[in-house]
Structure 1
Amino acid sequence: MSEELDDLNDQNEDQGTITKVTGMYKDWFLDYASYVILERAVPAIEDGFKPVQRRIMHAMQELDDGRYNKVANIVGHTMQYHPHGDASIADAMVQIGQKDLLIDTQGNWGNILTGDSAAASRYIEARLSKFALDVVYNPKITEWQASYDGRRNEPINLPVMFPLLLAQGAEGIAVGLSTRILPHNFIELIEASIKHLQGKRFKLLPDFPTGGEADFTNYNDGNRGGKVRIRAKISQFDKHTLKISEIPFGTTTTSLIDSVIKANDKGKIKIKKIEDNTAAEVEILIHLHAGISPDKTIDALYAFTNCENSISPLCCVIEDNKPVFIGVSEILRRSTDNTVQLLKSELEIKLRELEEQWHFASLERIFIENRIYRDIEEEETWEGVISAIDKGLKPHIGHLKREVTVEDITRLTEIRIKRISKFDIDKAQQKIDALEDQIAQIKHHLNNLIDYAIAYFKRLMKDYGKGKERKTEIKLFEDIVATKVVIRNTKLYVNRKEGFIGTSLRKDEYVCDCADIDDIIVFTAEGKMMVTKVDTKTFIGKDIIHVAVFKKKDKRTIYNMIYQDGKGGTTYVKRFAVTSITRDREYDLANDKKGSKVHYFSANPNGEAEVVTVLLRQVGSVKKLKWDLDFADVIIKGRNSRGNIVSKYAIKRIELKEKGVSTLKPRKIWFDDTVQRLNVDGRGELVGEFRGEDRILIITQSGIIKTIVPEITTHFDDDMIVMEKWRPKKPISVVYYNGERELYYVKRFLVENEGKEETFLPEHPETQLEVVSTDWRPVAEIEFTKERGKDRKQNLEVNLEEFISIKGINAIGNQLTRDKVNQINLLDPLPYEAPEETPADDIDVVDEEEVATPKKPLNNASEKASQDDDEAENDEEGQTRLF
């Protein structure tokens, strides 16, 4: 037994032994990490290429003869330089080809929109594009190194004279770090390079090949911590169909459709079917059920599908064999400065070549013009020939820029007799003069290098900028609140007596439709309140009196409540809103006294204040047993306030006498043109003050008019020209060109079909809206076209109110003029006193942030009770807070 214990102790000691890793394991991981970072995942700042990309481009240049090569052949040639398999090289080449900048492709190279992969490398072909041949290669200024097997030379970096890294973008995952450089617009990169050379400021924003919309507010110059929000471009195809015409970068039509179907299955959105008609351009049609709001569905698509994504850029590049993190602006500056140095090297090499040509052309002329070749006829040795030529040249070489070498004399001896016999002195001098002009031009460029570089970038813009305009639309996105756009396809039930709420209580009372991300607010007869998440079954407390979906920051829903403070206690009345709470925390609205109970409760979505009748029990000498209580007389306070005294005596019951009207001010609504959305936060231009029945008038350039409920989720068309508060009695005045009759017409009409979208222009392809006015008495100015041989007709002012009476929306209208019209302008309207808009009778308008003075005291104690301070609404630590 003791031996077995000793063996067990030995095993435990062996298991606890720490063995240090030595030998080849000690350095292997670091070597591997360095290799992946430097040789595989991260591009170099000098040329913007990863090693495999650089080797592909080098191999293509070696094979280039102007014709297409099989990609399989290019891949095989690249393997002489790249020590990896053919599959990785082919994939890298396809990625370069899909960016449509450096490689001219032929065949099926895949589709970045649908995610379809390219055909096998043996079936597709490629050659270098003209742009690549122009800006990527110059063997004379390229630094070379031996390939991995030492058999060939490959470039250390290609002399790329363009910010290629920013144009193509790059992604890579290494050991311990990664890089994600987003692609930028070709034209904007050139413009930024020119601005940098001119010493001006510039700003770079990504541009994605898939188009779409993007919010670059937090781009942070592409540095770590930045974020780009990207969206698909969604428009309303018709009343029951949405169209996706551009998709976010990093997604495909397949992945986007899958996300839409998944959101539909989860009940986040509700669609009828989805069609993918994508070919050369994206076209995804989403068909909606009748009664489903297109605007709300668009927001839901952004909130719950891949129609909106976010990208976190991270600019990491290799510089001096080390990874460095810099912004895209700095990358462009360094790339542009590098381009200037490469251009300088090119010019210096070309200058040396021209000077050498000039030197030999001058020697050749001296040699032939002075017949120095005859001096070698008597020479028998090579040394004698060289010496004779050198002696013959000396009297004539004083103007040369360098000494004559043996190599120069040797070249002179290689001139053929036929060339000497046909030598033309004038042509030779012309050649020398032309070389001198070229040398002078090169020296001028070197002395004005920045101007030369700017001209170089402008040439690139002219030669290659066509068709490379920005594809991604720059926008500011408004945050979409998921609870406001989610489709509520789950039914909520309540068991009031037992105190349960949930989606599984189908035998109990139906409350409303809800979504699984909603919060539910519940009130009980004891004066308790709680907000909780939707669930299958949740216990709140017995005798539930009110259940509803809770809206965060809702200041317009006002709760009217009459309660008894404790058993046999005083009865109070109060009005309050619930804006922020702690989820799943029980709040006591009746001062937490045992025996408290609620006599009357109502929830009013627009701050309505009803009138109720209070009936007391017959007790002792109480004379007044019945009176009316108007909630409009009660100040709106916090939910923890005690309220005003109703009575100290026992209440028999409370009856509703009269439904209430809103006691809140009309809601002010603004339009933010930056994000093309309505808001109540004061951003943009004030549209107006709206009550529940008010609507917004929308008119578009295409001749569509409609009135809409001012919902924050509404999307607006790009051709919208009028948006204002709708006044039903205010006429719309229109001047338009009738394409069928080829004349200008005027019409005035009222919008009679509230909420219906209508067209007020005749259906003809040439019909065009000229001006539209919503003024009471508009005036238009007609500017006539000057006819040949006639004086220009004087401009004519037309009072549209007098010109035509108000007719139906479908009326053609009255002909404006038969003369040729150059332009029609709206002038300042004539003065008019519009009828005042007054609220309905008996409405006491009260701001939701302010309190109104009660019309009359409820009783002698009400004045004192109204002075009670609101109790602090502190949240418990460690609990989720709803804002």
Structure 2
Amino acid sequence: MEENEELNEAHNDNQIDSQDTLTKVTGMYKDWFLDYASYVILERAVPAIEDGFKPVQRRIMHSLKELDDGRYNKVANVVGHTMQYHPHGDASIADAMVQIGQKDLLIDTQGNWGNILTGDRAAASRYIEARLSKFALEVIFSPKITEWQMSYDGRKKEPVNLPVKFPLLLAQGAEGIAVGLSTKILPHNFNELIDASVKHLKGQRFTIYPDFPTSGIIDVSNYNDGLRGGKIRVRAKISQMDKNTLVINEIPYGTNTSSLIDSILKANDKGKIKVKKIEDNTAAEVEILVHIPPGISPDKTIDALYAFTACESSISPLGCVIEDNKPLFIGVTEMLKRSTDNTVDLLKAELEIQLGELEEQWHFASLERIFIEKRIYRDIEEEETWEGVISAIDKGLKPHIEHLKRPVTEEDITRLTEIRIKRISKFDLDKAQQHLDNLEERIAETKHHLANLVEFAINYFKELKKKYGKGRERKSEIRIFDDIEATKVVIRNTKLYVNRDEGFVGTSLRRDEYVTDCSDIDDIIVFTKEGKMMVTKVDAKTFIGKNIIHVAVFKKKDSRTVYNMVYKDGRGGPSYIKRFTVTSVTRDKLYDLTTGKASSDILYFTANPNGEAEVITVLLRQAGSIKKLKWDLDFSDVLIKGRASKGNIVTKYTVKRIEFKEQGVSTLKPRKIWFDDVVRRLNVDGRGELLGEFKGDDLLLIVTQKGVVKTILPDLTTHFDEDMIVLEKWKPNKPLSAIHYDGEKDKYYVKRFLVENEQREEQFISDHPKSFLELISTDWRPVAEIEFVKPRGKEAKPNQTVDLENFISIKGIKALGNQLTTDKVRNINALEPLPYQEPKESSPEEMEVVDEEDVEPTKKDTKDSQQNGSSDQHTLF
């Protein structure tokens, strides 16, 4: 406090002094800071648009070219050579060179250059070697069209910009932080950049997206052409090896296996996910094995890895480059257009220089031929002075130079005098003419290229792709991501307790009644006997209200959980019955489920996770002339409405008690479930292909290309393998028909079988390495067509149609089946199935259609809720 007072007094004194004398520091601050900021922006952090290099990178490439003799150079030697041009320490040069080398495009490396997958650093620069790649030698250097400047100490010349004839900036990407601005240009695919350049030259529209060396899956829907405000999401590629093991084969850009594993371990320590063990088997390719404990859902764990670890991250690009010594903010499309146009200009400049050189060669070759063929060299024998020699040759040439394209200069004549006698004596007229003809052909070809410059540039790009594009296919898979709700995938690592009488709920009430497992990001819903309801965040201890009758984890937009309730409306008032759902509320707001009258009281309450409607018995107190003291009520006769509905009147008399009589069935309509192939997820929002209407015990049928069949609950969190070829609603009495090749017997077989084991995975073809599934059908009466191999010297056997239903009867799933044919098969095609009248399913009784949004599978909900103590238990008062 005393220090603050002293500071305030000093500040007040300064204010008083400043009124008398005001010292400006704008000159020094403005000049020095602006100079420093400009230097950092232009000379360190931001690449030039002309060649895509930062100064240190350009100087490294220039040094490598000066040292280039086809052999490897020690990186320490290259770094020392680069210091002639770069006025900074060797560490910054070595780091920049390693970054270029790890991109595997411009530098041919030897030794330990580090690993972008694991994050391992490169060895010291004295141990590793480098040389320019063939690609770099072809597209980066062209001294004749390079603009040069003096180095920082004036001893050497260095390029202002390298004549790069390729969109190198987009291929390598760039990242840098300067004073007041930054840049983040993401790397793009080599072949796609060439294709886009060709499209631009043809006047066609194009779109390019990032491609990362670490592979992974990317969502580019908000890329915004790489401009400020854009964003891409990157994910690791995670698959299920078995029910207790996940494998990560590709990682997001900007991470490595070490940082990824650390993030998983931290999430495990915080209780967000449950992991038993992690193995890192990464070498040339990524392989991280994540072992999960038994009973933990692999699909939910995959989602949790995306939600709580570095397995998913977002990258915000920012396209900033230097043009005319000023920062320029442009998108990747404009960058590629400018780079392609610049390449065309560079090619034109090279062709013009080449044309000039060829014409100069033709000119001197023509002069040389005239000089020797017409024996003009003999005219100088009598000359005694240099001027006389020049004049004699000039005089001798004049009758023969009408066809030349430019006048003969003294320099030309001087070159003629330097021809050796040995060359004159061995001069071959035919070879000289062939040389001239060859030069004329090359001149005509060069002029043709200049006249058709765009076509020449297109062929140039196509040749680059042909020579260097192999092995540079896209690594990152482009896909639209589904949004993962953290509350649905977080591991419930905390226990929730309730003190019903005093009205408290929380995670610290360990001496009170246990309710359910929850997580620290969950919401909970609480009901009291007075007819009050509240949704609140999980906390150590929260007061809701006395006489709590129900507590559960709250699911937002849950329209399948139906609450059945009978309540008394105020003191001595009538009783009402109502059914309602709670899909959205304001957190920590106390809602009244009755009409709000004092002394209202809940007489009966149940929470039903699948909309069950039970039967209850109402008993009245004996009073006056009441004749009917007992009767049954069926909740299925009551419509499901909102929580604010008043309900239907039960009786105006006093209720003695209400008894549960009979368990009811769900009154909700079966859920329609769709499969969205774009995000490869199930949904109930109408996106993608409709799989059918699912009741509580309905399952999905899945068949993979590996010959694996399984049935699963239609869980909206399920991840589907890339090799899935069948996904539909499972009908237990519907057979599967398969044509498969048995590697051991070297023959094709047909089998038909039923899937009998629920929620189990089974292989229905042999595990021989050469065995494979040729065709699978879920039609009732499938038909296939066989195309046969044509024998040598014979006519091909006509195609054969096979009715699979009559070909083989239904057998067990492990049966081999019947041999399809003894002839050699070229191809097998599925034809239109034979007509079949499918038996209709009996529709369940349903009272009301409820909007069903994002909900869990029925059977799983029921099981989880029973384990967590939130099933449709009956609360009687």
Secondary structure at the counterpart of residue 488 of structure 2:
helix
**Alignment RMSD (CA, Å):** 1.7
Partners of 1:185 and 1:470 within 8 A in 2: yes
Cα distance between partner residues in 2 of 1:598 and 1:149? 90
Hey, what does 2:625 align to over in structure 1? Answer: 621
Hey, what does 1:220 align to over in structure 2? Answer: 224
- 1:380 maps onto 2:394 in alignment: no
Hey, what does 1:798 align to over in structure 2? Answer: 802
For 1:363-442, list aligned pairs within 5 A: 363-442=367-446
Give CA deviations for 1:728-774 in whole Å, capped at 9, x if unaligned. 11112222222222222222221111011111112222222222222
| Amino acid in structure 1 at the alignment position of 2:375 | R
Distance 1:634 1:152, change over 3 A: same
Once the two structures are overlaid, the 10-residue window that deviates more, 543-552 or 824-833, is 824-833
Secondary structure at the counterpart of residue 613 of structure 2:
strand
Cα distance between partner residues in 1 of 2:727 and 2:524? 35
Hey, what does 2:846 align to over in structure 1? Answer: 844
Q: Aligned-pair distance for 1:319?
A: 0.7
Hey, what does 1:873 align to over in structure 2? Answer: none
Give CA deviations for 1:666-699 in whole Å, capped at 9, x if unaligned. 0000001111111000000100000111000111
Distance 1:8 1:87, change over 3 A: closer
Hey, what does 1:139 align to over in structure 2? Answer: 143
- 1:467 maps onto 2:467 in alignment: no
Give CA deviations for 1:699-751 in whole Å, capped at 9, x if unaligned. 11111111000011111111111111111111122222222222222222211
Give CA deviations for 1:56-91 in whole Å, capped at 9, x if unaligned. 111111111111111111111111111111111111
1:604 aligned to which of 589, 605, 608: 608
1:479 aligned to which of 473, 480, 483: 483
Hey, what does 1:457 align to over in structure 2? Answer: 461
Once the two structures are overlaid, the 10-residue window that deviates more, 637-646 or 89-98, is 637-646
Cα distance between partner residues in 2 of 1:849 and 1:122? 69
Secondary structure at the counterpart of residue 114 of structure 1:
coil
2:56 aligned to which of 39, 48, 52: 52
Identity in percent? 77
Cα distance between partner residues in 2 of 1:749 and 1:128? 61
2:346 aligned to which of 342, 345, 349: 342
Once the two structures are overlaid, the 10-residue window that deviates more, 299-308 or 10-19, is 10-19
- 1:306 maps onto 2:310 in alignment: yes
For 1:610-649, list aligned pairs within 5 A: 610-649=614-653
Give CA deviations for 1:616-673 in whole Å, capped at 9, x if unaligned. 1112222211111111111111111111111111111111111111111100000011
| Amino acid in structure 2 at the alignment position of 1:525 | K
Hey, what does 2:707 align to over in structure 1? Answer: 703
Structure 1 unaligned blocks of 5 or more: 1-5, 851-883
Cα distance between partner residues in 2 of 1:246 and 1:355? 55
Q: Aligned-pair distance for 1:849?
A: 4.1
Q: Aligned-pair distance for 1:413?
A: 1.4
Cα distance between partner residues in 2 of 1:135 and 1:396? 43
Hey, what does 1:290 align to over in structure 2? Answer: 294
- 1:92 maps onto 2:99 in alignment: no
Hey, what does 2:180 align to over in structure 1? Answer: 176
Cα distance between partner residues in 2 of 1:381 and 1:30? 65
Hey, what does 2:163 align to over in structure 1? Answer: 159
Give CA deviations for 1:245-283 in whole Å, capped at 9, x if unaligned. 110000000000000001111111111100111111111
Distance 1:357 1:240, change over 3 A: same
Cα distance between partner residues in 1 of 2:473 and 2:851? 50
Cα distance between partner residues in 2 of 1:200 and 1:301? 41
Q: Aligned-pair distance for 1:594?
A: 1.4
Hey, what does 1:878 align to over in structure 2? Answer: none
1:813 aligned to which of 813, 817, 827: 817
Cα distance between partner residues in 1 of 2:467 and 2:361? 30
Hey, what does 1:264 align to over in structure 2? Answer: 268
For 1:508-587, list aligned pairs within 5 A: 508-587=512-591
| Amino acid in structure 1 at the alignment position of 2:809 | S
Hey, what does 2:16 align to over in structure 1? Answer: 13
Distance 1:369 1:828, change over 3 A: closer
- 1:670 maps onto 2:674 in alignment: yes
2:322 aligned to which of 293, 318, 325: 318
| Amino acid in structure 2 at the alignment position of 1:13 | I
Secondary structure at the counterpart of residue 662 of structure 1:
coil
Hey, what does 1:786 align to over in structure 2? Answer: 790
Distance 1:732 1:12, change over 3 A: closer
Cα distance between partner residues in 1 of 2:425 and 2:792? 72
Hey, what does 1:715 align to over in structure 2? Answer: 719
Partners of 2:109 and 2:130 within 8 A in 1: yes
Cα distance between partner residues in 1 of 2:830 and 2:116? 48
Hey, what does 2:744 align to over in structure 1? Answer: 740
| Amino acid in structure 2 at the alignment position of 1:29 | F
Give CA deviations for 1:394-416 in whole Å, capped at 9, x if unaligned. 11111111111111111111112
Cα distance between partner residues in 2 of 1:157 and 1:824? 59
Partners of 1:662 and 1:845 within 8 A in 2: no
Secondary structure at the counterpart of residue 200 of structure 2:
helix
Cα distance between partner residues in 2 of 1:26 and 1:783? 82
| Amino acid in structure 2 at the alignment position of 1:333 | K
Q: Aligned-pair distance for 1:816?
A: 2.8
Hey, what does 1:495 align to over in structure 2? Answer: 499
| Amino acid in structure 2 at the alignment position of 1:777 | R
Secondary structure at the counterpart of residue 367 of structure 1:
helix
Secondary structure at the counterpart of residue 664 of structure 2:
strand
Q: Aligned-pair distance for 1:830?
A: 2.6
Distance 1:790 1:346, change over 3 A: closer
Distance 1:319 1:697, change over 3 A: same
Cα distance between partner residues in 1 of 2:384 and 2:798? 102
Distance 1:11 1:365, change over 3 A: closer
Partners of 1:234 and 1:244 within 8 A in 2: yes
| Amino acid in structure 2 at the alignment position of 1:277 | N
Distance 1:776 1:430, change over 3 A: closer
Partners of 2:223 and 2:231 within 8 A in 1: yes
Hey, what does 1:203 align to over in structure 2? Answer: 207
- 1:64 maps onto 2:68 in alignment: yes
Q: Aligned-pair distance for 1:790?
A: 4.3
Distance 1:368 1:788, change over 3 A: closer
- 1:590 maps onto 2:585 in alignment: no
Distance 1:8 1:729, change over 3 A: closer
| Amino acid in structure 1 at the alignment position of 2:422 | K
Distance 1:381 1:481, change over 3 A: same
Partners of 2:640 and 2:848 within 8 A in 1: no
- 1:117 maps onto 2:124 in alignment: no
Hey, what does 2:866 align to over in structure 1? Answer: none
Q: Aligned-pair distance for 1:795?
A: 3.2
Q: Aligned-pair distance for 1:791?
A: 4.0
Structure 2 unaligned blocks of 5 or more: 1-8, 853-877
Q: Aligned-pair distance for 1:609?
A: 1.0
TM-score normalised according to structure 2 size = 0.94
Cα distance between partner residues in 1 of 2:124 and 2:342? 37
Distance 1:463 1:8, change over 3 A: closer
Hey, what does 2:689 align to over in structure 1? Answer: 685
| Amino acid in structure 2 at the alignment position of 1:767 | S
Partners of 2:669 and 2:846 within 8 A in 1: no
